[in-house]
């Protein structure tokens, strides 16, 4: 199994800040990485696929970068609606899809 | 617009089999070429991929679940299903069904989730 490690696990920020979440894979996954946003009691929402491609309808203040084993999700100028938990997910192989442990972005 | 909805018992006894259905509305399963998956989230924890099925009935499951998983498609009812056998308290979670619209392995559409508790 490919292990995905996110950091930090919790991030405190204010409206208007720019924040970056890191996701590291235990082996190379090329660019096969997605990011999701989840709010309490709700299903995850796809934000980014293939490292840096924004899903339709996702604001441009979200951006993704990386390749191989290290990836980042940056949220520029945090809005109140952005306070949530974020997960990365690798899809290098359908035999074992794995998620990171999550990063909670809180006020 | 395509929507997903999970359904099934909210309470399952230890050692029994958990069974959930995902109803697909807004499109015919037999007319699509998507992959479909199940993901769960234990209380206060992260997301865990359980397994999936392709439009051609090829199935994939998480090796950590030790062959307890069965996923199937029922195109006549426009739904796909999950069966997880020999459940324990560790299987208590919210279970999500989801669509892999790209067939690469990420999920672009999710159901709202179904909470399942394993307890006697």
Residues B63, A100: C-beta atoms closer than 8 Å: no
Residues of B in contact with A36 (CB under 8 A): 47, 107
Residue B42: per-residue pLDDT: 98
Helix (H, G, I), strand (E, B) or coil at B30: helix
Assess contact for A98 and A1: CB atoms under 8 A: yes
Confidence of residue B30 (pLDDT cuts 50, 70, 90): confident
Confidence of residue B28 (pLDDT cuts 50, 70, 90): confident
**Prior bond to B45 cis, omega within 30?**
no
B interface with A, Cβ–Cβ < 8 A, is: 35, 37, 46-49, 52, 60, 62-64, 96, 98, 102, 104-108, 110-113
Cα–Cα distance for residue pair A6/A8, rounded to 1 Å: 6
Q: How far is B104 from chain A (nearest CA, A)?
A: 7
Quickly tell me which residue has 């997605």 as its tokens. Answer: A34
Q: How many CB atoms neighbour CB B21 within 10 A?
A: 16
Q: How far is B45 from chain A (nearest CA, A)?
A: 8
Per-residue model confidence as pLDDT tens digits over B82-99: 999 999 999 999 999 999
Per-residue model confidence as pLDDT tens digits over B34-82: 999 999 999 999 999 999 999 889 999 999 997 899 999 999 999 999 9
Residue A82: per-residue pLDDT: 97
Residues A43, B62: C-beta atoms closer than 8 Å: no
Cα–Cα distance for residue pair B119/A44, rounded to 1 Å: 26
Cα–Cα distance for residue pair A63/B69, rounded to 1 Å: 35
Q: Nearest Cα to A86, choosing from A67, A69, A76, A73?
A: A73
Residue B32: per-residue pLDDT: 84
Residues in chain A with pLDDT values less than 70: none
Residue A99: per-residue pLDDT: 98
């Amino acid at each position: 199994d490919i292990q995905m490690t996110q950091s930090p696990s919790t991030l405190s920020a204010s409206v208007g800040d720019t924040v970056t979440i890191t996701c590291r894979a235990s082996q190379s996954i090329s660019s096969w990485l997605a990011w999701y946003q989840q709010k309490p009691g709700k299903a995850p929402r796809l934000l980014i696929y293939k490292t840096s491609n924004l899903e339709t309808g996702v604001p441009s203040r979200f951006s993704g970068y990386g390749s191989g084993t290290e990836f980042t999700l940056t949220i520029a100028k945090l809005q109140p609606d952005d306070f949530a938990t974020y997960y990365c997910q690798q899809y290098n192989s359908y035999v074992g899809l794995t998620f990171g442990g999550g990063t909670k972005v809180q006020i | 617009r395509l929507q997903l909805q999970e359904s099934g018992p909210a309470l399952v006894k230890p050692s029994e089999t958990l069974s959930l259905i995902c109803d697909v509305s807004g499109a015919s399963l037999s007319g699509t070429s998507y992959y479909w998956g199940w993901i769960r989230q234990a209380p206060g924890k992260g997301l865990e991929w359980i397994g999936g099925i392709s439009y051609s009935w090829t199935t994939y499951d998480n090796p950590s679940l030790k062959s307890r998983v069965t996923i199937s498609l029922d195109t006549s009812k426009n739904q796909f299903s999950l069966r997880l056998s020999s459940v324990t308290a560790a299987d208590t979670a919210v279970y999500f069904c989801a669509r892999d619209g790209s067939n690469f392995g990420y999920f672009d559409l999710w159901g709202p989730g179904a909470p399942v508790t394993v307890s006697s």
